[in-house]
Structure 1
Amino acid sequence: MSEVLVRVENIKKHFAGTRKFFSREREIVKAVDGLTFDIIQGETLSLVGESGCGKSTTGRVLLKLLEPTEGSIHFDDQEITHLNENELRPYRKEMQMVFQDPYASLNPRMKVKEIIEEPLIVHGIDAATRKKRVNELLETVGLNTYHGNRYPHEFSGGQRQRIGIARALAVNPRLIIADEPVSALDVSIQAQILNLLKDLQEEYELTYLFISHDLSVVEHVSDRVAVMYLGKIVELGSKTQIFENPLHPYTKALLSAVPIANPRLKRERIVLKGDIPNPANPPSGCAFHTRCPFATERCKVEEPKYESYGDQHFAACHFVEELA
């Protein structure tokens, strides 16, 4: 049986929004609204969806950079949901993050070697070991010791993201959450970084939670895919299941928008009308019914159950079998 590294049960993250008119009460923004999923040791689970659906918030909640409003997080069979900062410190070595913006995620006042060395200092690694480890990591991500004495502004976007990856690897983590790690890079550089991530996964037996809105990238790197809409997972399955046999209308609409390299082939585009609803005031029933071309009166009043449709393929829709 595959080993579950991370188990998330009914995780919610709500934020206090703006005040309501003529009231002291604040709107509650439901950024993440009841997620349950597992991440298997050694796999790449991708989290996809439109901007604002809660993908990045989910990643930050898993790392305890944001405290969950409700629910539980288990890492390697240990619950870490309510641990304080000191109790959480041993788990910080096991979970690291590669951020979306390679320009904003590096301290411009620190040299590259200092940036990579910082997590080693925090975890009490001796100076000689730190120096050796920094040089090893620079070589691992395609740089060298000469680059260690330079500042972040002296590098291109792709090189900065390599530095961010080296920093994430410094303390030998088991889980890396990659939050849109290539979205700010040119296409040719994207391919280099994605291949680097796959090579590192094989070499260090890493587990990835890969957050992205680019389904072409997701298809290249994923083992399983979870599709998010308005703070909830609406479909989860293997890469093959999601890309060849999507069950949820939202997943089908996302896939219909992916460009095809062959200009002679045409794909029927499913155009969704309107924008994602306000997470402070989500629709009743199925949250997707305001944009779904197949919605009925039932969808407006009854929230669909998140159910299995065989072979670990899950979806939340009233009409999965009819639409199949």
Structure 2
Amino acid sequence: MAKSITRLGKPPEDSGFGAAVDPYANQLDKVGRRKRILRVWQTAYLGGLGKHVQFMQFGQPGLRPLIWLHSVDYPMAPPWGLCVDAADMGFSVVSVRRPGFGETSPVSTIAEEVRLLSDFLEEAEFENAVLIAEGTARRAGLRLAQASERIAFTLLARPAYAAPSFGSIEPWIRDLLIQTVQTDAGARLALTAISHFGRRSGHLSLYENFLKVESDTQFIHSQTRDLAEAWACVCALKPETFRRELRNLEPDPSLTPGALAGFPGIAVIGADTQAEWRTSFEAKSAELEIATAILPSGSLFALYQNAGALLQLIEDCA
């Protein structure tokens, strides 16, 4: 069950860390079901590690935790409407900014990230949680789920474990991604180029042109405030964090045939995922022996634009 984690941990006196903000996003009975409800980001201090984790919790204590780990491309909490729908179905969304994003402390390895996230779950005393790991969060999320008894079920969203090529991604974006994984200097240049494009053409244009999926574009223009916050978070990344994230797209030696047989989880993509990626996703998932599901629309933003189908899938499987 979910516990309120507004005052998780206590920082040292000289840390400069202020009092946590009480969440007011969970009082649905007081504000009306469909009015805009602000989601409040908070920062927890993990005393055992001396590190911070930034998170957003939506839903009254007592609901089943739905732990959400974002990908590098969209470091944002789910839309408020999805959070409301999740609460209606008995889930408390806990969106976690991963290491190096926002106010969450950076790490150097996957093992360090797993320990940081595991300590966060332990101090919050979550139980029977469902974990959603998107995109570049797949490697850390999968290892967290395998190591933590507090995770009961895992959804790997667009897990990026089987893309044989860059598909129809714009060549200049492809070149930036290749440059990023090679060196920290390459990552620094790539971040500078992406930020420059965002200032010149607008970050919404960058998101639109990444995959050129109409359903994703509709979502982008319906969530401009969230996209702006996500974009600001991306632009603030350190080159080493950016590089570490994109290296999660490289082949994972632990994902051998049958590696996920019996794993309590499912792999999910959107119906508008380009055909080449969808084919390789289905083939690799079959090789790993993990069940799959296709959400009705979308690619990059498939989870967010299919709230009903996503939550029903979790309720049915978890």
Provide the TM-score with structure 2 as the length reference. 0.29
Larger radius of gyration: 1
Provide the TM-score with structure 1 as the length reference. 0.28
Higher relative contact order (CA 8 A, sep 6+): 1
Larger helix fraction of residues: 2
Larger strand fraction of residues: 1
